[in-house]
Structures are given as C-alpha cells and as structure tokens.
Structure 1
Amino acid sequence: MKPTKNIASEHVLLKQLHNRDWDKLWARLLGSCAWILRKRYGVKWRNQKLITFSRQIILEVTDKIFLEKVRKWNLDEYPDFEDFIVGVVDSHINNTLNKNNKEIPTEAIEYFQNRNGELDIDGLEQITTPELRKQVFDELKAEGADDEELIVFECIADGIHKPKDIKIELGLSDEDFHNIWRRLKRKREVIKSKLAEDGY
C-alpha cells in the first residue's frame, strides 16, 4: 500500500495566495523562467519575446494551481511554496516547448562593448550565493526595476558581464541594451549601499 501524499489543502493554498508578496514572487519567477529558457533550452529570443513567453507561463501555472487545481502541492516533496511553484514552472516550460515545437531563433547581433569590453558592474558581479542573488533581485524590484532590467541582472548574476554576450543571450539591439543598462545603473548605488549595510 502506497503512503498517502501530503497534499496542501485549499486553506493552505489560499493562505499562500493572500499572504505572499506577489510582486516579489512574480519577479523571482520571471527570473527563473528566463534562466531555464536560456540555460536549459538555449533560447536566443529577443528580450521582449522572452518576457512575454515567461509571463504567459507564470499565468498558466498560477491558474493550474489556484483555479483549475490540477497541479497539487506535495508538502513532503516541496516544504517551501516557492520551490514548488518554480518546479511547476520548470515542468510547464518543458511541456509547452515540446507541445508547440517552438523554433529557437538564432540571430547575428553586432558586437558592442565599452572600453574594457565589460560592464561597469560595480559590485553586482559579486553574486556568490542564492541568498544574495535573491536579496539583490528583491532590492532591484523595490527600486522599481522593470522586467527587462531584472532579466539583464539575471545574466550578470550568471556571470555574463560583457555587453556583447548579454545582447546575444537576450537578443537585444545596441539601443535596447543601452537603454536598459542606463536604467539599471541608476539603481546601482542604492543597491550597493543596502548590501554594505547588510555586511556584503
């Protein structure tokens, strides 16, 4: 006889739905989607397509968990709700790509770099732990970073520091990259100060 799975009740799910900071969780899920698509599936979509696809995946996943209730939260397998929903996102990306047999576009992107060929990241490259990465992500979100800025940050946190490489990774034009990086730089000093206060 198989042991009974410890599935979260509707009451437990509703607590997650109402008590979570969904702005922060949404940003983390968007970053997870981008990472999975780029690292596991090697997609080279333009940034807007990457964001649009990721948003759709997250909406479909939340529907399956909270409305359709077809994705059950096994508390023994995933004690933390965030780990559970990231797992569902991962699975749903795989199912969607396989079902739709989407093409992965490859595009020639012109070379762009600053004097050193690398970004003046100034502290953001020191993302050495998942905890610090999550904290910086949350701080950027709190400072008003948009989806494009957060996905560029994900590249930086993954160790991609050259503008050329980020542009290729995300399918960005020179102008798009310049505009996103300019917005992200404005938030840099605030983030550095907060990290310093926390002993990083």
Structure 2
Amino acid sequence: MALPTWIWALTLTILSAQLISADNSTMTAPPSNSTSNQTSAPAAIQTTGSAANQTSAQTTIQTTPSAASTSTVQSTTSSAPQIIPNIVFTTNENFTTDLLNSSSAAFQNRSIKIKQLEPFIRSAFPSFNSLTLVSCSSGSIVHNTSAAFGANVTVPNITSIYSVISNAAKNLTATLPITFVNGIAVNSAGTARTSLLAAPCLVVMSLLAWQ
C-alpha cells in the first residue's frame, strides 16, 4: 500500500533538521579548543616571570657577602704612628721670646737643631721615626718634645728615652749643650749627677744611719 505524500514530506523534513543540527555542533567545537589554548598561555608567562624573580633574588644574595667582606678589611687597616709626648730636656743656651712662636724662624731652626738626637734614639730603638719640637720655655731653653714610633710595634717607655738622651749629651756638648733631662742634671760624660741641694740630704741620711 503506497504511503501518502504528506508522510514522505514530513520524513524528509525531520531528516534535514537532524543533519543541520549535526553540522552546527561540529562547527562550534574549534572555538572551545582555542579558548583552552589562550588560557594556558598566560600560565606559561607567569612561570617565566617567577623564574626571573628567582634569578634576581640569587643575584642579591651573591653580592651581599662581598660588600661585607670589603667593610671588614677596611676597618682593620691602620698606619697611624704611636706618639710618646712630653719628653723634656734643657740646653744651656739663651732663651729669646720668638721661641714662643712656633711659626718664627728661631723656633723652626730650633726644631732642626734637636734632630741631632734622632740617630742616637734610632740606634737604641729601630722602630723610632722622628723627634718633634712642641714648644719652648725659658730657663735657659727648655724643650718640650714628642717622639713618634711606627704603627703596631712595641714602643719603649719614656724613662728609656731619657736614658738615651742623657748618654747622647756627651757627644753634643758643642752643638746642643744638654744640661737637664726631665729635670735631672747631666754632666759632660752623659751621666746624671747629684744636685747641690741633694748632696747635704745624703750626708744627713748617712749620719742618721750610723746612730
């Protein structure tokens, strides 16, 4: 029995609708993959940025110890000389008021004149550098000086320096006639001598010892 014409037409319409629906689903699939690729791309960029930050942090850590090491070396470096001040001796020469002025020609000449003591002090103490005139005062000529020694060395005490100056006096009687070293009189032989005031005291002490 033959089917009516309208049945065949309905069947064809249903089949056409199914084919169109299948084509539409196939065409919309690629955009979904494209969106997925775009989403994963920023993740790769973020990872790269993190690696750059790690590299920067490592660079900072490596340079910090180097700066600290430089600071330590500088703080331990020292070349300042060691100074022994107030080394006082007197010469039997006429005092003039221009010796009170450290800028005067007389004071400068006196500064050079006391350099005669330097070879004697250096011979006794190899670390000795120089003898400097600080000031002059009257009473013949009283010299207040200071002695400079090398850095980071053992320096002598002032008593040892006075002993060297006293011994040097016997060789300098004509050019630098030293008569007192630290208030103690010296003779031409370069040895300390007892003052006239001290001699009677020693005699009295001796008499008391016999009683």
| TM bracket (short chain) | under 0.3
* More strand, by proportion: 2
Q: Which has the higher Rg, Structure 1 or Structure 2?
A: 2
> Normalising by structure 1, what TM-score?
0.24
Q: Which protein, 1 or 2, shows the higher relative CO under an 8 Å CA cutoff with sep ≥ 6?
A: 1
* More helix, by proportion: 1
